[in-house]
Amino acid sequence: MSLTHHDSNARMSQIAVHNGTVYLAGQVPSDASAGMRGQTEQVLARIDELLARAGTSKEHLIAAQVWVTSMGEFAEMNAAWDAWVVPGRPPVRAAVEARLAKPEWKVEIMVVAALPEA
């Protein structure tokens, strides 16, 4: 069994890799002053960075969990998502309305991806 953790602190890791599967922690925006689409774009860019660090990319996504603070802004999140996701290769996904850890955050996304075969 292979298991590695990256970008860890006492509470959590940003990346865990187990037997060819990459798990990312929930990602949140860095600039909470942006609207839903802008915050989602920030989160997706961070996901791209972390997946690259782990040796994979959004082309290998398996699953995604999305939390939004208001379903009234769901279409804005989806607009950013649809522009980002690889056409013809969307992961399985669940999206729910939830209260996030900081009230200024509008979206949090957690993904699972496969490592590409060598």
Q: Which residue shows structure tokens 């909470």?
A: 32
DSSP states of 50-87:
HHHHHT--GGGEEEEEEEES-GGGHHHHHHHHHHHSPT
Chain segment 31-43, per-residue pLDDT in tens: 999 999 999 999 9
Chain segment 56-71, per-residue pLDDT in tens: 999 999 999 999 999 9
Chain segment 43-54, per-residue pLDDT in tens: 999 999 999 999
